[in-house]
Amino acid sequence: MKRTVKKFIIVLLTGLFLLGIGQAVWAEKWEPYQFKGNEYFEFKILLEEDEETKESIYILDIKESSEKSASGEEVYEVSYTTKGTLTKDELGPETAFGLMGSYGISLNMLVINPAYGFFFSQMDLKVGEKMNFFGAGIIKVIGKEKIAGREGFVCQLFQADEEEKMIAEWVIDPDLALPLRSKIFEDNELQGQIELVKYMQY
């Protein structure tokens, strides 16, 4: 009987150990803007303004050129495209420098606030994870979702002092430099989102 109990305890402890190892292996971290090069991202942007939804397209294209830097490093040609529609009276100075200037929000803040990007480099991406970042906000990983043929973790950011008030939501594939989708909220109402519609590597 004692041997049986001892065997059971050993099996149980081994199982718990392997479970812990498995969770460590499967948990992933993500740091934004770590581009591989030779990549094409195409996003659809939706912004709410005066009870109207404005739609535009943003394309980021990164291609290796035939040139080398003075130190022999690869050189990449990077192009940015924004496409959308504006009425004649909306045409103005901002229009000359990309549609986001006309829409009143910077693209980098819509994709991910740099401060929040730091949070992700400190946490494990696995379903069920929850972290409070120094009173700046609470991030919960609530599940997974497929977008543009890729799977990512659904991460929601809430106010630290009002956990029911959502600030932002991202769907993150740890293998990509940008989120598959980003949403920003104000008073729990969606203000804007950017979602991947196409990704490819050259």
Q: Give 27-84 pLDDT, tens digit per residue.
A: 688 989 999 999 999 999 998 777 788 888 999 999 999 999 989 899 999 999 988 8
Quick one: which of 81, 156, 89 has its CA closest to 116? 156
- Is the predicted pLDDT of residue 194 greater than 90, yes or no? yes
Neighbours of 197 (CB within 10 A): 12
The model's pTM is: 0.80
Segments in the chain forming alpha helices (H): 2-26, 99-103, 107-111, 114-122
CA–CA gap between residue 125 and residue 25 (Å, rounded): 11
Token pair of 198 as six digits: 């196409």
Long-range contact set of residues 126-129: C-beta below 8 Å, sequence gap at least 24: 126/23, 126/26, 126/27, 126/28, 126/153, 127/153, 129/27
Residue 73 or residue 7, greater confidence: 73
3-state DSSP call for residue 62?
Answer: strand
Task: Say if residues 113 and 183 touch (Cβ distance below 8 Å).
Answer: no
Q: How confident is the model over 152-184, as pLDDT tens digits?
A: 999 999 998 888 899 999 999 999 999 999 999
Sequence-distant (6+) residues with CB within 8 A of 18 are: none
Residue 182, pLDDT score: 96
